[in-house]
Amino acid sequence: MEFNTFYNKIQTDETMMETIQHGNSEYPFQLYYDDLALFDFHCVEWHWHVEFEFVFVQEGTATFWVGEKQFSLGQGTGIFINSKILHRYFSEGHAIVPNFVLKPTFLAPADSLIYKKYIAPIQACKVDCIVFCREIKWQAEALELMQKILKAQESDKDRELVTLFLTQELWHLLYLHMDSEVLQKKRENTASSQGRTQLMMQYIHQNFRQNLTLEDIAGQAMVSKSTALNLFRRYLHDTPVHYLVKYRLQEAAKLLATTEKKITVISGETGFENMDYFCKTFKKYYGRTPTEYRRKKQMDTDDREGIVQDVV
């Protein structure tokens, strides 16, 4: 199975909803065979989507932030991430994390009894995620099913059919081990808090070039500065100002890789008033100076183009 190289940067709209289409209307399922080392910061950045997501840690160790929770998962473990939950995952180094996403309607039509009785209750409940480890029997079974689903993608003969019934079997296992009381508890309060956090993130994304203050950011969600700090720590395990700096660096990295603009210009365009501070902070996060980062990205592009020419 080849690594995913065409999809290694999360694209979101102003609400942090991922904009890429996973699968299609006829077959709303998609597998991604990811190595986190191929992502900037070795990180799948903050996003959410309507699809359910299952991630298997095949090699290495990855840290997952899901809603208010944080987990460090090693080789052979996995995680289920519920629909419409803000999440992010990261690795210090090499980590292979094949993952698949599927719309709830992949499991059954939205107007069916199956959907209403077995799918919608989990989708709407307060469970953000479930971690799978091999020490617990049913979770070990879930991990085996996840690996079978990954393996099924290598077949051209009956891939879609096998994927469907294996995924339904995995969902059945999940449903059997959900507490009935938990299923009855909705996420209304969490959604409100997460929504305020998303509003502040959206404001940062749209105004990162300006000189923003904590008061400015908090004002977009009509909360106090202390509440803004608490919400960012609760959901993003970060502060608003630190998140702003990281976002500026990501935008600067994008400009370095895709334009010929001078570094001084990029520094100013991404909200850094001090060139020395920009270079120092950029190297801290990316492990390279802006010049070194641009050179490396250009070399990577040249290598990919050379491979394409050799194939042709």
Confidence of residue 195 (pLDDT cuts 50, 70, 90): confident
pTM: 0.73
pLDDT confidence of residue 38: 86
The Cα–Cα gap between 164 and 29 comes to 9
Average pLDDT over residues 162-167: 98
Average pLDDT over residues 291-307: 75
Residue 195 carries which side chain, given as an amino acid letter? Answer: G
Taking the domains of the chain in order of start, what are their residue ranges?
29-183, 187-238, 242-312
Average pLDDT over residues 286-293: 93
pLDDT confidence of residue 311: 40
Above pLDDT 90, what percent of the chain?
A: 62
pLDDT top residue among 45 and 240: 240
Question: If residue 69 lies in a helix (H) or strand (E), which one and from where to where?
Answer: strand 69-73
What does the pLDDT look like over 85-141, one tens digit per residue?
A: 989 898 987 899 999 999 999 999 999 999 999 999 999 888 999 999 999 999 999
CATH ID of 29-183, from 3.40.1710.10, 2.60.120.280, 3.40.1800.10, 1.10.10.10: 2.60.120.280
Above pLDDT 70, what percent of the chain?
A: 90
| Largest Cα–Cα separation, the chain | 62
Q: Are strands 62-66 and 78-81 parallel, antiparallel or unpaired?
A: unpaired
**Cβ–Cβ < 8 Å for 281, 292:** no
The Cα–Cα gap between 147 and 228 comes to 40
Confidence of residue 71 (pLDDT cuts 50, 70, 90): very high
Does the pLDDT of residue 14 top 80, yes or no? no
Does the pLDDT of residue 22 top 50, yes or no? yes
Average pLDDT over residues 278-286: 93
Class at the top of the CATH hierarchy for domain 242-312: mainly alpha
Average pLDDT over residues 255-266: 94
